[in-house]
């Protein structure tokens, strides 16, 4: 089970001790990875310890909590922030929410309420990770399709099957089919056929190769299969395009 890393920031050691010892972090799958007592230390420890959640007071030395949020947000957009403050100040609260902190909680902390806020931060973190992962996956998938398309364009005359593509690119066949459908609007076989038959048409119109030879040059070992495919995709027989070469 995922353990979420928490950094505590407050300029009072007694508050840090209380937050560490009195709240059941373990029941929320969290662990305290560090504590800081000023804004500069908070930034330094966040960068070195890579927390998932920062629980922080606003009124801390050197850099206040809101300045820390701004700087760390620029460093890691997935980082979640919970403000725990002794200041019931509308402007502080407004500024904090404008920075998209998860919540603004007043001291003394009600741990029942705090637990719900921690859970909400974890859910927000997981949602953002899923979205970020999906975007990376989309990018990776586009690269995979591009690689497969380039390979098919160069090897269209070979005996290409979904199983061979699967072995070549280390992807299961059903996933390859989904990638082609999502990226190109067609399956791999239709794309392969499109490449083969357009190449065949070019050869029919520009060379003296026989139709049987062209079939073999474009990956068809059987003349009849080639002719049927050509008629189906081009709407005419290969001989019709051969006539244009005379």
Domains of the chain: 4-131 (3.40.50.2300), 156-246 (1.10.10.60)
pLDDT at 97: 65
What pLDDT band is residue 92 in, cutting at 50, 70 and 90? Answer: low
The pLDDT assigned to 91 comes to 65
Mean pLDDT of the residues in the chain: 87
- The pLDDT tens digits of the residues spanning 128-147 come to 887 776 666 677 787 888 88
- Residue-by-residue DSSP string for 40-68: HHHHHHHHHH--SEEEE-SS-SSS-HHHH
Sorted by sequence, the CB contacts under 8 Å of residue 177 that are 6+ apart come out as: 162, 187, 188
Q: What pLDDT is attached to residue 218?
A: 95
Work out the pLDDT band at 25, boundaries 50, 70, 90.
Answer: very high
pLDDT category of residue 1 using cuts at 50, 70 and 90: low
Helices 173-184 and 111-155: crossing angle, nearest 10°? 90
| Mean pLDDT of the 95-117 span | 85
217: pLDDT confidence band, cut at 50, 70 and 90?
very high
Contact 14, 42 (CB under 8 A): no
Distance from CA of residue 4 to its chain's centroid? Answer: 20
Which of 11, 107, 8 minimizes the C-alpha distance to 60?
Answer: 11
A 10 A CB-CB count for 85 gives: 19
The whole-number pLDDT of residue 32 equals 97
Q: Is the pLDDT of residue 61 over 80?
A: yes
Q: Give the confidence band of 241 by pLDDT, cuts at 50, 70, 90.
A: confident
**Residue 242: what pLDDT?**
84
User: Which residues have CB under 8 Å from 116's CB, separation 6+?
Assistant: none
């Amino acid at each position: 089970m995922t353990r979420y890393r928490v950094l505590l920031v407050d300029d009072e050691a007694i508050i840090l001790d209380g937050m560490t010892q009195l709240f059941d972090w373990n029941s929320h799958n969290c662990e305290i990875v560090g504590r800081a007592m000023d804004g500069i230390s908070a930034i330094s420890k966040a960068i070195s310890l890579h927390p998932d959640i920062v629980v922080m007071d606003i009124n801390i030395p050197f850099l206040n909590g809101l300045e820390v949020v701004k700087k760390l947000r620029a460093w890691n957009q997935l980082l979640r922030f919970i403000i725990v403050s002794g200041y019931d100040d509308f402007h502080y609260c407004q500024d904090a929410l404008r920075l998209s902190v998860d919540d603004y909680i007043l001291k003394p902390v009600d741990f029942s309420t705090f637990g719900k806020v921690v859970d909400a931060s974890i859910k927000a973190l997981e949602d953002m990770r899923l979205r970020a992962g999906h975007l990376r996956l989309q990018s990776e998938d586009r690269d995979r399709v591009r690689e497969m398309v380039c390979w098919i364009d160069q090897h269209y005359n070979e005996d290409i099957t979904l199983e061979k593509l699967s072995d070549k690119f280390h992807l299961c066949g059903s996933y390859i089919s989904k990638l082609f459908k999502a990226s190109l609007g067609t399956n791999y076989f239709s794309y392969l056929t499109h490449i083969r038959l357009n190449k065949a048409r070019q050869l029919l119109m520009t060379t003296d190769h026989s139709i049987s030879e062209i079939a073999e040059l474009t990956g068809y070992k059987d003349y009849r299969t080639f002719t049927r495919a050509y008629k189906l995709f081009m709407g005419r027989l290969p001989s019709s395009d051969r006539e244009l070469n005379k």
